[in-house]
Amino acid sequence: MTDAHTAANSPATTDMDAYWMPFTANRQFKESPRLLTRADGMYFTDDQGRQVLDGIAGLWCVNAGHNRPRIVQAIQTQAAELDFAPPFQMGHPKAFELASRLTEITPEGLNRVFFTNSGSEAVETALKIALAYHRARGEGQRTRLIGRERGYHGVNFGGMSVGGMVANRKMFGTLLAGVDHIRHTLDIQRNAFSVGLPAHGAELADDLERLVALHDASTIAAVIVEPIAGSAGVLLPPQGYLKRLREFCDKHGILLIFDEVITGFGRTGQPFAAQTFGVTPDLMTVAKGLTNGCVPMGAVFARQSIHDTFMQGPAHLIELFHGYTYSAHPLACAAGLATLDTYADDQLLTRASHIGGHFAEALHSLRGEPHVIDVRNFGLVGGVELTPRPGEPTKRAFSVFLDCWEQGVLVRTTGDIIALSPPLIASAEDLSRMVEAIRTALRRLA
């Protein structure tokens, strides 16, 4: 990198006041900025020309690694060919092609696709489809939505309401009415340092029966959960938990929604966690890895029976009054198609099942290091939970984050949990280096 390039992108010559950054300690960041200027493969380059190993796939999204030529070329070509096409009462070929290609890898039965622009929008869409579906079939009294404590389903009002992360909810009023939550699945006392899915806790799914008894099943439209709760700190489903939840939903006529924004597209060793865990939901939300993070895009996969319930009445009438200006955007569709090709070329959607064993071994080697009270892993996602610093919650993990950054490794924190979700192209050496950076930081911590 040239000196001129570095100078042009240095904090000293960049006015940072105007940008209000999302999910960021703005004041701390602007005192000591961490600026990324390029990316390729497993690495970012910062404004000082340093190479930084990407331990979190951008933000759980760059599953195929950065700067993949096929995806870059597809976006460039599409921008010159068709930059935008209105999605209402109009279409373009790549939207239909991408939807068809996606249904080739989705769990069996999820063969209808509604495109959005993010995971947050995908969640809002799935919740609205669930409510409208029950109304269309004559059970309009099913308006209640059930989420889970410590769940994360984006930051729009529906997603915040069914989500269960306190910091994401407490500033924004009463949120949606008619929402309740089942218990989360984290049980460090019984399951600490489990390798893979914890053995204890399938009975936590029974909490849905408690809410059915409280509210009556006839009022409940849907239950939404992440197969693996990522943003809350890698909370894993106990063995048998998801199947039990599926059985309860079937018993009571409740739709089951899986939020696979984080777990989708190879993170668990199969295209989707639903396939890994052998449980098929009625609706499934995705985003992030759908386009390898290159162009914003999300989607909702639906069972055909749900889709067909809306296809009633005169054919010229709109069946679902919902959508976005940028639904199935041409650039996003082009990126999505090229991403699927890239995944297939490199067999990335199943790679986590092969390298996940090394990742688990490396992560669990942190057991016994200072402040570590739990290590959790599955596929290519891992979490290391630390004891909070007295009177300063989150600061210990944030200190690890900063230390790893100085070592040239990017990790993520949530609360006092360090999370890793490396690109699926990561080598064993890459994974070991991420873990060693965390180990070094832990040993330097107070």
User: Hey, is 15 helix, strand or coil?
Assistant: coil
The pTM score is 0.96
Q: Amino acid letter at 7?
A: A
Chain centre to alpha carbon of residue 410: 18
User: What CATH architecture is 71-346?
Assistant: 3-Layer(aba) Sandwich (3.40)
Token couple for 319 = 């069946």
Chain centre to alpha carbon of residue 175: 22
Between CA 73 and CA 79 the distance in angstroms is 10
Contacts of 295 (CB under 8 A, 6+ apart): 75, 329, 331, 332, 334, 335
Contact 42, 408 (CB under 8 A): no
- The CATH label, of 3.90.1150.10, 1.10.357.10, 3.40.50.450, 3.20.20.100, for the domain at 3-67+351-444 is 3.90.1150.10
Between CA 256 and CA 250 the distance in angstroms is 9
Same fold, 3-67+351-444 and 71-346: no
User: Hey, is 76 helix, strand or coil?
Assistant: helix
Q: Please report where in the chains the tokens 């796939």 appear, as a residue.
A: 57
Q: Got the DSSP string for 272-314?
A: SHHHHHT---SEEEE-GGGTTTSS--EEEEEEHHHHHHH--S-
> What residues does each domain of the chain span?
3-67+351-444, 71-346
Between CA 262 and CA 12 the distance in angstroms is 35
Q: Is the dihedral of CA 60, 63, 67, 73 positive or negative?
A: negative
Between CA 36 and CA 87 the distance in angstroms is 34
The tens place of each residue's pLDDT in the chain, 446 residues long, gives 444 444 445 544 469 999 999 999 999 999 999 999 999 999 999 999 999 999 999 999 999 999 999 999 999 999 999 999 999 999 999 999 999 999 999 999 999 999 999 999 999 999 999 999 999 999 999 999 999 999 999 999 999 999 999 999 999 999 999 999 999 999 999 999 999 999 999 999 999 999 999 999 999 999 999 999 999 999 999 999 999 999 999 999 999 999 999 999 999 999 999 999 999 999 999 999 999 999 999 999 999 999 999 999 999 999 999 999 999 999 999 999 999 999 999 999 999 999 999 999 999 999 999 999 999 999 999 999 999 999 999 999 999 999 999 999 999 999 999 999 999 999 999 999 999 999 999 999 96
Over the Cα atoms of the chain, what is R_g?
Answer: 22
